[in-house]
Amino acid sequence: MIFYKTGEEIERIKKSSLLVGKTLAEVAKIIKPGVTTLDLDKVAEEFIRDNKAIPGFLGYGGFPNTLCTSVNSAVVHGIPNEKPLFDGDIVSVDCGVLMDEFYGDSAYTFEVGEVSNEIKKLLRITKESLDLAVEQTRSGNRIGDISFAVQNHAESNGYGVVRELVGHGLGRSLHEKPEVPNYGKKGRGHKMKPGLVLAIEPMINLGKKEITQLDDGWTILTKDNLPSAHFEHDVAISRDGSPEVLSSFEEIEKVLNNKGKK
Ligand code: MG
Ligand code: MG
**Domain membership flag for residue 104:** yes
Read off the CATH number of the domain in which 16 is found: 3.90.230.10
Domain, as residue range, for 232: 7-261
**Domain membership flag for residue 74:** yes
Give the ligand at the shortest distance from the Cα of 180: 2
Residue 16 Cα to ligand 1 midpoint, Å, equals 13
**Domain membership flag for residue 169:** yes
| Predicted confidence pLDDT, tens digits, the chain (262 residues) | 999 999 999 999 999 999 999 999 999 999 999 999 999 999 999 999 999 999 999 999 999 999 999 999 999 999 999 999 999 999 999 999 999 999 999 999 999 999 999 999 999 999 999 999 999 999 999 999 999 999 999 999 999 999 999 999 999 999 999 999 999 999 999 999 999 999 999 999 999 999 999 999 999 999 999 999 999 999 999 999 999 999 999 999 999 999 886 6
What span, in angstroms and rounded, lies between the C-alpha atoms of 164 and 91?
20
**Domain membership flag for residue 168:** yes
**Domain membership flag for residue 1:** no
Residue 168 Cα to ligand 1 midpoint, Å, equals 9
Residue 194 Cα to ligand 2 midpoint, Å, equals 20
Residue 184 Cα to ligand 2 midpoint, Å, equals 18
Report the pLDDT value the prediction gives residue 202, as an integer from 0 to 100.
Answer: 98
If DSSP states are collapsed to H, E and C, what string results for the chain? CCCCCCHHHHHHHHHHHHHHHHHHHHHHHHCCCCCEHHHHHHHHHHHHHHCCCEECCCCHHHCCCCEEEEECCEEECCCCCCCECCCCCEEEEEEEEEECCEEEEEEEEEECCCCCHHHHHHHHHHHHHHHHHHHCCCCCCEHHHHHHHHHHHHHCCCCEECCCCCEEECCCCCCEEEEECCCCCCCCCCECCCCCEEEECCEEECCCCCEEECCCCCCEEECCCCCEEECEEEEEECCCCCEEECCCCHHHHHHHHHCCCC
Residue 172 Cα to ligand 2 midpoint, Å, equals 13
Give the ligand at the shortest distance from the Cα of 169: 2
**Domain membership flag for residue 2:** no
Q: How many folded domains does the chain comprise? A: 1
Residue 94 Cα to ligand 1 midpoint, Å, equals 5
Residue 88 Cα to ligand 2 midpoint, Å, equals 26
Report the pLDDT value the prediction gives residue 260, as an integer from 0 to 100.
Answer: 82
**Domain membership flag for residue 46:** yes
Q: Which of 235, 231, 167 is nearest to 204 (CA)?
A: 231
**Domain membership flag for residue 136:** yes
pTM: 0.98
Residue 119 Cα to ligand 1 midpoint, Å, equals 21
Residue 31 Cα to ligand 1 midpoint, Å, equals 19
Residue 260 Cα to ligand 2 midpoint, Å, equals 28
Residue 232 Cα to ligand 1 midpoint, Å, equals 6
